[in-house]
Amino acid sequence: MAILITGGTGYIGSHACLELIRAGRQVVALDNLSNSRRAALTRVEGMVGRSIPFHQVDIRDRAGLEGVFRAHEIDSVMHFAGLKAVGESVGQPLRYYDNNINGTLVLLEVMRAAGVRSMVFSSSATVYGDPKRVPVTEDFPLAATNPYGRSKLFIEDMLRDLVRAEPGWDIALLRYFNPTGADESGLIGEDPNGIPNNLVPYVAQVAVGKHDKVAVYGGDYPTRDGTGIRDYIHVTDLVIGHLRALEKLASHPGLVTYNLGTGRGYSVLEMLAAFARAVGRPIPHEIVARRPGDAAECWSDATKAKTELGWVAVRDLDVMCADVWRWQSRNPAGFA
């Protein structure tokens, strides 16, 4: 039996393919290649020494998806496919709702018709909106502040409704904090299109000389050094969390929800210092105005995943930065 990885050529999906195969599982990857390249999976194939079934299919393409479920014996789905750029979602809400919500709806219908009722879904800490307190626990009130966030929240609601209405589904909602890092081989990693919006890929591109300096968004937050605090989590730890969640689903829990974070927050300046240690020289930066919509602090309480899944993130900030730098410096043009 195989696990279908939607978004399998993407940043997190490609790392999931790698870790699942390393753990002895069979995977089938699917992606429409709208934000990634087939080359990521080719690299993974080289690392594991075998070919990985890949289908270039859009999750909104019902017939295409049905073909994938017919071609393989699939017993669960890790659903990474989706559009994820917050700013872009504000300008193109219908595209985000169609891709993320409609895509997930079609995927669920095809899964049900194929008798597959187990899914691990990539949710996000964005569903907590601007949290009133930190650390953030899973029972915090949910709110979204942009179309991307609303698409994640709506999909969560859709999945909660589905499990309530149709017993037999087993679904894990995994709320990621700030995924970063790369496989320690330096062979795969995050390869954003255009100019990155997120901190770490931007810092990496400054370090490799693509941009002059990092704009630090706000130096006057009520935090220890005035800059924003986030819970950065290594992508390898993150995908191992998915494996533990999948094991949990095998015990038929219905719907489960976990934060995937380290339970520790680091400021922008602390991240820049860690990256400088990895690179061996300072990262040029300048403090500028706050970015609208940013919270001062957002970091997880990671206790629930530890207690119920036996999972903790073990790779620290220095490992994250060293792994990003290995990937970025060896592949300055990404997979191109």
DSSP secondary structure letter of residue 9: T
Cβ atoms within 10 A of the Cβ of 223, count? Answer: 17
DSSP line for 10-77: SHHHHHHHHHHHHTT-EEEEEE--SSS-THHHHHHHHHHTS---EEE--TT-HHHHHHHHHHS-EEEE
Question: Contact between 197 and ligand UD1 (CB under 6 A)?
Answer: yes
Give the torsion through C-alpha atoms of 39, 44, 47, 48, to 10 deg.
Answer: -140
Instruction: Confirm or reject binding of residue 296 to ligand NAD (CB under 6 A).
Output: no
When CB distances are held under 5 to 8 angstroms depending on the partner's kind, the choice from ligand NAD, ligand UD1, none that residue 86 binds is ligand UD1
Q: In what order do the strands lie in the sheet with 266-267?
A: 266-267, 229-230, 297-298
Does the protein bind ligand NAD through residue 304 (CB under 6 A)? no
Does the footprint of ligand NAD cover residue 69 (CB under 6 A)? no
Per-residue contact track with ligand UD1, 219 to 248, x per CB under 6 A? ---------x-x------------------
Q: Applying CB under 6 A, does 201 fall inside the site for ligand NAD? A: no
- Paired with 161 in beta bridges are none
Assess 91 for contact with ligand UD1 (CB under 6 A). Answer: no
List 3, 4, 5, 13, residue binding ligand NAD (CB under 6 A): 13
Give counts: helices (H), strands (E), the chain. 12, 14
Asked whether position 122 contacts ligand NAD by CB under 6 A, the answer is: yes
Cβ of residue 94: shortest distance to ligand UD1, in angstroms? 19
The long-range contacts involving 159-167, CB below 8 angstroms and separated by at least 24 positions, are 159/119, 159/121, 159/255, 160/255, 162/108, 163/254, 163/255, 166/112, 167/254
Q: Which stretch binds ligand UD1 (CB under 6 A): 91-99, 155-163, 184-192, 197-205?
A: 197-205
**Size of residue set near ligand NAD by CB under 6 A:** 26
Which residue in the set 84, 234, 315, 326 belongs to the binding site for ligand UD1 (CB under 6 A)? 84
Q: Is 82 in the site for ligand NAD (CB under 6 A)?
A: yes
CB-wise, 167 or 293, nearer to ligand UD1? 293
Shortest distance, position 47 Cβ to ligand UD1, whole Å:
25
∠ CA(46), CA(6), CA(21), 5° rounding? 35
Which residue from 14, 126, 259, 328 is in contact with ligand UD1, where contact means CB under 6 A? 126
Q: Smaller CB distance to ligand NAD: residue 58 or 308?
A: 58
Tokens at 254, concatenated: 């219905």
Contact with ligand NAD (CB under 6 A) among 68, 103, 170, 300: 103
Cα–Cα separations (whole angstroms), residue 306 to 23, 243, 261: 20, 13, 11
304 binds, among ligand UD1, ligand NAD, none (CB under 5 to 8 A by kind): none
Of 27, 65, 78, 81, the one binding ligand NAD by CB under 6 A = 81
Q: Which is nearer to ligand NAD, 35 or 118 (CB)?
A: 35
Coil, strand, or helix at residue 168?
Answer: coil
Q: Which does 10 bind (CB under 5 to 8 A by kind): ligand UD1, ligand NAD, none?
A: ligand NAD
- Annotated catalytic residues are 148
Phi, then psi, of 128 in degrees rounded to 5: -90, 0
Binding residues (CB under 6 A) for ligand UD1: these are 84, 86, 124, 126, 149, 178, 197-199, 202, 214-217, 228, 230, 268, 291, 293-294
Binding residues (CB under 6 A) for ligand NAD: these are 7, 9-13, 31-36, 58-60, 80-84, 99, 103, 122, 124, 176, 179
